[in-house]
Amino acid sequence: MSSSSKASASTSTKPLQVEEEEPVLRVYNSLTRSKDVFKTRKPKHIDWYNCGPTVYDSSHMGHARNYLTQDIIRRILRDYFGYNVNFVMNITDIDDKIILRAREGYLLDQTKSTNSTLTSDMIKDTKLAFSKFLNSKLIKSLPSTIPEISSIENDLEIFDIILNKDKSDSTFAEAAKSKEEKWTLYLASLLKASTAIKKAESLMNGSGSTQNDVNDLVDGTSDVLGPYYGETLGHTIEDPISISRKLALYWESQFFQDMEKLNILPPNIKPRVSEYVKEIVEFVDKIIKNGFAYEAEGSVWFDVEKFDGAQGDGFRHDYAKLQPSSKGNKKLIDEGEGALTGSKGKRQAADFALWKAKSKPGEPAWPSPWGDGRPGWHIECSVMASAILGKGMDIHSGGVDLMFPHHDNELAQSEAYHGCQQWVNYFLHTGHLHIEGLKMSKSLKNFITIEEELSRNTARRLRLAFMLQTWNQKLDYSRGLIADTKAKEETFDNFFANVNARLAQAAPTADGLHQNGSAEEAITNDLFNAQRDFHAALCDSFNTPAAIQTLLDLIAKTNIYFSAKGRDANLAVVTNIAEWITRMLRMFGLGEGAPAKNGIGWGIAVVGGEAAQNGQDVTSQIEPWARTISSFRDTVRKLAMDKSISSEELSRRILTLSDKFRDEDAVNLGLQLDDGQGSDGGALWKLVDSKTLIEQREEKKRIASEKLAKKQANAKAAEEKKLAQLEKGKIPPLEMFKPPYITPDNLYTDWDSQGLPLKDSEGKDVSKSTIKRLVKEQKVQEKLHDAYLQWKKEQEGK
Ligand SMILES: [Zn+2]
């Protein structure tokens, strides 16, 4: 073959014929504030660092929003896009809040264990603590002065006066709340303490006290006594590291239990700060050597001014890349430092602590070249991420609250340490969570822990609800959202039940698996289009609301196909659809239990986490079925043996009985019967959640009774209207403008033969325009009167 013929052969075939370009994955990146094309540093491998919890209290719905959202994205990247994800999440177990909580708890416990009866010293301490809390918190937050308290010395009495004013004067209460958002919490803590102190005082004066009374006083006053003891007795604690450790370990295990209940995948690596103190010291030391931090009075501070704009190797360092508008925001900076941290030796307000000197005895501390101390908050993530992932990472994530100062400081420290321009490629920040339109907070009393929420709604419902909003937007967790989520769950449930029932009861001889007409072609195309749209949605920065909607739209189309084809539906085509929807839902982490053998269905989610039947034995599951069937049989037999019933009446009663069985007994068992839908022309039966069926039945009943009530009300109104018209029709049209039918009696004084007035009360002629109007009125009355006469005649005839 000559070379020229080869060339012509190769131009005649096109190996690639692309009809539509495949979308690429783009991810919203807080660093660029735009949706960037997603590229990993190594093929199909993602190194991901997520800021984990500070463990000192129960996890709440804000945590759920953050960690659940990360989990959804992680599953999409791993199980849909096929990346290998190395997910690292730290546990913050060294923190000012942990230290304070731990030592307060320890000192309060110690008071209980060293006192078996109430003592005057205890009363004195609780009163001092009460006064301190009252003056440093409540009195400071008063919106206006209360003159009568200036002459009172007893702080318990002063508190009573303020409490009464808060109850009786709403303007005062509102002003106080807007001045100090913790006002209500302060009042609650002080009220609890004051009640406990008063009770203890009366016991001391009376019959004496027991260990229980000691415990009651300590527990009742814990909000005021804890901080007081922490300050006055904190230095007496001999092993502060171990008590902090104990508290952190407890809450860490609670946290992971909550995550497990939410079906959140555990991190691949979960480092604790307390295990990285040596690395932190080395990291801080190198930042000092690189010239971006300084030591002062045992603490080490990051030099923000020096870093911001400093020349690197061919680039320039920038501070506050994520949230430049917050640069120098003192409130945010101080919040980031913690309650125990002063600013001794700090040169500029924007500088932040890398290492905190031990300021008082009783604080946990580790050795360092700058003296005993503990790590600052921001440094821990820089160190652990660098120790585990190296010089950089693909994804860093956390809640949007962490953007400044935490993440901006992390970036600055790490770039200062590594001497690099960019430490993170994609910064993902999950959006806020609001409750019924309001920020969640203890003072607004809308604070919900994960445990509480899981006692009301399933983990699946929570996950699906969160997926109905994009991950980086604010989410309003409201009754409306839950209702919407429930409705969507039901659509999925009903779809799977329907497909499974049809598959299970398909006639063995049915040939429906093979025919491929225009309806089958159309529904198969619907599947392909849905798959394309679903892919496009996930490529668009994990747009889960759009992805879920695509699945629901496909279900709606399949339901239309079902009702059009009835028993002749091609089950093979429908199986393809149901299998794909199942796989996608399970990919998101929405599945419960192991997938079914036929690969269809997302399992049954139950409040509390475990499937209902797990705890029951077989007998107790069968019992209600046996009772129902036996009682149905009894009634049928009784009917058959009753000789007095005509055959017509018998069949009517049997049909009523069958309907009752379908609508009442079967529903209670979780058995749904669709008449005429079965492959043999009988009912198509489906096993579904009885609770859902009962809810649906009650809803139907409610709608029907509402309709009936409305109909009755309309009929009653129509009847009343008819009676009113008949009453009006009693007046003969010729008499209608004469007394006694007209008021006042003397309105008119003369009439013509048609009963129309001629003269008014003063004897003047009635105007033409008035007569014109009255003629019209008379015409109307003629009709009413005719109707009245007709009705009267009918009544007499009866
Ligand atoms: Zn962090």
552-562 pLDDT tens trace = 999 999 999 99
User: Where in the sequence is the domain holding 427, given as residue range(s)?
Assistant: 50-95+262-447
Q: How confident is the model at residue 69 (pLDDT cuts 50, 70, 90)?
A: very high
Q: Cα–Cα distances in Å, from 312 out to 63, 289, 392, 413, 415?
A: 37, 15, 16, 14, 9
Task: Round to whole Å and give the CA distance between 451 and 6.
Answer: 72
Q: What is the model's pLDDT at position 336?
A: 78
Choose among 149, 137, 130: nearest CA to 192.
Answer: 130
pLDDT surpasses 80 at 590: yes
248-300 pLDDT tens trace = 999 999 999 999 999 999 999 999 999 999 999 999 999 999 999 999 999 99
Give 51 Cα–ligand 1 centroid separation in angstroms.
Answer: 4
Q: What percent of the chain has pLDDT over 90?
A: 66
pLDDT surpasses 50 at 644: yes
* Residue 201 within any structural domain of the chain: yes
Give 604 Cα–ligand 1 centroid separation in angstroms.
Answer: 36
Task: Round to whole Å and give the CA distance between 482 and 607.
Answer: 14
Average pLDDT of 26-53?
Answer: 97
Give 67 Cα–ligand 1 centroid separation in angstroms.
Answer: 14
Choose among 603, 601, 555, 595: nearest CA to 459.
Answer: 603
Give 415 Cα–ligand 1 centroid separation in angstroms.
Answer: 15
pLDDT surpasses 80 at 337: no
Give 636 Cα–ligand 1 centroid separation in angstroms.
Answer: 70
Q: What is the model's pLDDT at position 700?
A: 85
Do 75 and 162 belong to one domain? no
CA atoms within 13 A on the CB side of 614: 10
pLDDT surpasses 70 at 185: yes
Q: What is the model's pLDDT at position 618?
A: 66
Say which range, 117-126, 181-190, 509-518, has the weakest mean pLDDT. 509-518
Cα three-residue angle 343-251-229, rounded to 5 degrees:
50
* Residue 273 within any structural domain of the chain: yes
Q: What percent of the chain has pLDDT over 70?
A: 95
Give 409 Cα–ligand 1 centroid separation in angstroms.
Answer: 9
Do 114 and 255 belong to one domain? yes
Give 334 Cα–ligand 1 centroid separation in angstroms.
Answer: 16
Q: What is the model's pLDDT at position 2?
A: 44
Give 381 Cα–ligand 1 centroid separation in angstroms.
Answer: 5
Do 468 and 394 belong to one domain? no
Give 360 Cα–ligand 1 centroid separation in angstroms.
Answer: 26
Q: How many of the other CB atoms lie within 10 Å of CB of 36? A: 16
Give 358 Cα–ligand 1 centroid separation in angstroms.
Answer: 22
Give 672 Cα–ligand 1 centroid separation in angstroms.
Answer: 51
Q: What is the DSSP string of 308-332?
A: TT-B-SSSB--S-SS-GGGTT-HHH
Give 396 Cα–ligand 1 centroid separation in angstroms.
Answer: 9
* Residue 716 within any structural domain of the chain: no
Give 347 Cα–ligand 1 centroid separation in angstroms.
Answer: 24
Q: Cα–Cα distances in Å, from 398 out to 271, 358, 415, 477?
A: 16, 29, 19, 19
* Residue 34 within any structural domain of the chain: no
* CATH assignment of the domain containing 334: 3.40.50.620
pLDDT surpasses 90 at 446: no
Give 50 Cα–ligand 1 centroid separation in angstroms.
Answer: 7
647-677 pLDDT tens trace = 899 999 999 999 999 988 998 888 888 888 8
Give 37 Cα–ligand 1 centroid separation in angstroms.
Answer: 25
Do 478 and 500 belong to one domain? yes
Peptide bond into 740 cis (omega under 30): yes
Do 229 and 345 belong to one domain? no
Do 211 and 144 belong to one domain? yes
Do 376 and 428 belong to one domain? yes
Domain boundary residue, one of 242, 259, 276: 259
Whether 126 and 221 have beta carbons less than 8 Å apart is answered as yes
pLDDT surpasses 50 at 67: yes
Give 52 Cα–ligand 1 centroid separation in angstroms.
Answer: 7
Give 7 Cα–ligand 1 centroid separation in angstroms.
Answer: 60
Q: How confident is the model at residue 509 (pLDDT cuts 50, 70, 90)?
A: low
Do 499 and 519 belong to one domain? yes
Give 399 Cα–ligand 1 centroid separation in angstroms.
Answer: 10
Give 84 Cα–ligand 1 centroid separation in angstroms.
Answer: 22
| Ligand 1 ion: residues within 5 Å (CB) | 51, 381
pLDDT surpasses 70 at 514: no
Greatest mean pLDDT among 39-53, 607-621, 641-655 lies in 39-53
Do 289 and 429 belong to one domain? yes
Give 407 Cα–ligand 1 centroid separation in angstroms.
Answer: 7
Six token digits for residue 413: 């420290």
Give 285 Cα–ligand 1 centroid separation in angstroms.
Answer: 20
Give 714 Cα–ligand 1 centroid separation in angstroms.
Answer: 65
Whether 731 and 785 have beta carbons less than 8 Å apart is answered as yes
Six token digits for residue 625: 């079925």
* Residue 199 within any structural domain of the chain: yes
Give 513 Cα–ligand 1 centroid separation in angstroms.
Answer: 55
* CATH assignment of the domain containing 515: 1.10.730.10
Give 395 Cα–ligand 1 centroid separation in angstroms.
Answer: 13
Give 416 Cα–ligand 1 centroid separation in angstroms.
Answer: 17
* Residue 543 within any structural domain of the chain: yes
Give 424 Cα–ligand 1 centroid separation in angstroms.
Answer: 13
Q: What is the model's pLDDT at position 508?
A: 64
Do 314 and 399 belong to one domain? yes
Give 131 Cα–ligand 1 centroid separation in angstroms.
Answer: 38
Q: How many of the other CB atoms lie within 10 Å of CB of 434? A: 18
* Residue 609 within any structural domain of the chain: no
126-177 pLDDT tens trace = 999 999 999 999 998 899 888 888 888 899 999 999 999 999 999 999 999 9
Domain boundary residue, one of 259, 287, 318: 259
Average pLDDT of 561-566?
Answer: 89
Give 744 Cα–ligand 1 centroid separation in angstroms.
Answer: 89
Give 686 Cα–ligand 1 centroid separation in angstroms.
Answer: 50
Give 440 Cα–ligand 1 centroid separation in angstroms.
Answer: 22
Do 494 and 392 belong to one domain? no
Give 363 Cα–ligand 1 centroid separation in angstroms.
Answer: 23
461-479 pLDDT tens trace = 999 999 999 999 999 999 9
Q: What is the model's pLDDT at position 506?
A: 76
711-767 pLDDT tens trace = 999 999 999 999 998 988 989 998 888 888 888 888 888 888 888 988 888 888 888
pLDDT surpasses 90 at 692: no
* Residue 608 within any structural domain of the chain: no
Domain boundary residue, one of 602, 632, 658: 602
89-139 pLDDT tens trace = 999 999 989 999 999 999 999 999 999 999 999 999 999 999 999 999 999
Do 55 and 133 belong to one domain? no
- Number of structural domains found in the chain: 5
388-404 pLDDT tens trace = 999 999 999 999 999 99
Give 392 Cα–ligand 1 centroid separation in angstroms.
Answer: 14
Choose among 790, 160, 61, 96: nearest CA to 481.
Answer: 61
